[in-house]
Amino acid sequence: MYGYPPSPSLPESPRQPPARVRIVTDSASDILQSHAHAIGIIVVPNRIVMDGHIFRDGIDISAAQFYTRLPHARPAPYTEVASPADFYQAYQTAFAQGATAIVSIHVSSQFSQVVPHATVARDYLAPAPIHIIDSLQLGIGMWPAVIEASRIAHLGAPVRAIHERVNSLLARTHVFVMVESLEPLRRSGRISRVQGLVGALIDAHPILTLDRGEARLVETVRSRRRAVLRLVELAREEARSVGGVESLLICGTSIESIAEMETLLARKYEGMIRKTWLGPTIGANLGPAIAVALVAPESPPSQP
């Protein structure tokens, strides 16, 4: 259907080398291509349609370039998700480079067709060992699980252990996003998809979270400064409710907004705060935004 070459034959020798699991994700994970390359993750880029051109997210256009162009873009930019052929090529590359199995972790299927497209490629390559995980997360909500999957894969962890660790981290990751304006959500047609987000207020700044993979409105705050402070408060309240913070992440659409959020969070949090850009895949739908993600500590095993 997609004009793929024949599927590769898989080695059947009983003396196969130890499993070498390769991690694949898509660019909605907000992992920079340079970072991914350094730690062996394959990032399949979604595409950004902007000013009459098609850009591969993170390859043809960086986050900084995207947000510089965004205020002047007419019509509004939009995304085209990575195709089944893109995932086919990524999986072929991983196997050609020595992988014996793949764990493919992707943006919530409530937001995107990425998971179905990856599934088509996996099925075409059957019985190749490709394990697809619908993260039910978005952006930096995926980030801790993808990075940790790569780390333990490099240590030789088998697929089952990686799968369990990824699912644990995804379940313990809580994300809050402050959207600078309702206009990009309205133009992209996503206001109706966000539970509870109706109407529009002057200078409205909605704060969203994810609930079982879907965006849900937490509240709408009138001034930007108050919205930023409320975002910090929500992260602190969440940390108290889940018993602390294992890791904390920030992403934003400008260096200034990232630094502002880091300064506010650091007043109460002494650990390392990881920072990255909110990538073009998400930015094309949300517009300028700031997000905070925290990973709750893992509960100790219950005593018999």
Q: Domains of the chain (ranges plus CATH)? A: 21-46+81-171 (3.40.50.10170), 173-295 (3.30.1180.10)
Q: Give 290's strand partners.
A: 178, 252
| 251-280 pLDDT, tens digit each | 999 999 999 999 999 998 988 999 999 999
pLDDT band at 64 (very low <50, low <70, confident <90, very high): very high
Q: Which two tokens stand for residue 279?
A: 């990538």
Q: What percent of the chain has pLDDT over 90?
A: 71
State the average pLDDT over residues 51-79.
Answer: 92
Q: What is the mean pLDDT of residues 115-123?
A: 98
For position 142, what pLDDT does the model report? 96
Q: With beta carbons less than 8 A apart as the criterion, state whether 232 and 273 touch.
A: no
pLDDT at 184 (0 to 100): 63
Least confident of 85-99, 170-184, 224-238: 170-184
Mean pLDDT computed over 78-104: 96
Mean pLDDT of 217-233: 90
Q: Report pLDDT for 191.
A: 53
As a whole number, mean pLDDT of residues 272-298 equals 93
- Across the chain, mean pLDDT equals 87
Reply yes or no on whether the pLDDT at 10 is more than 50: no
Alpha-carbon gap, residue 157 to 152, rounded angstroms: 6
Per-residue pLDDT, 187: 62
70-76 mean pLDDT: 87
* Residue among 137, 143, 297 nearest 212 (CA): 137
Which pLDDT does position 270 carry in this prediction?
Answer: 87
- In this prediction, residue 1 has a pLDDT band, given cuts at 50, 70 and 90, of very low
Split at pLDDT 50, 70, 90, the class of 249 is very high
Alpha-carbon distances, residue 303 vs 208, 242, 246, 299, 300 (angstroms):
37, 20, 22, 12, 9
Q: What are the structure tokens assigned to 135, written together?
A: 């993260």
Q: Both tokens of residue 25?
A: 């994700």
Q: Which of 135, 154, 113, 128 is nearest to 21 (CA)?
A: 154
pLDDT at residue number 6: 39
- Enumerate long-range contacts of 50-53, CB under 8 Å, 24 or more apart: 50/77, 50/284, 51/77
How large is the C-alpha radius of gyration of the chain? 20
- Segment 140-159 mean pLDDT: 95
What is the mean predicted confidence (pLDDT) over 71-80?
89
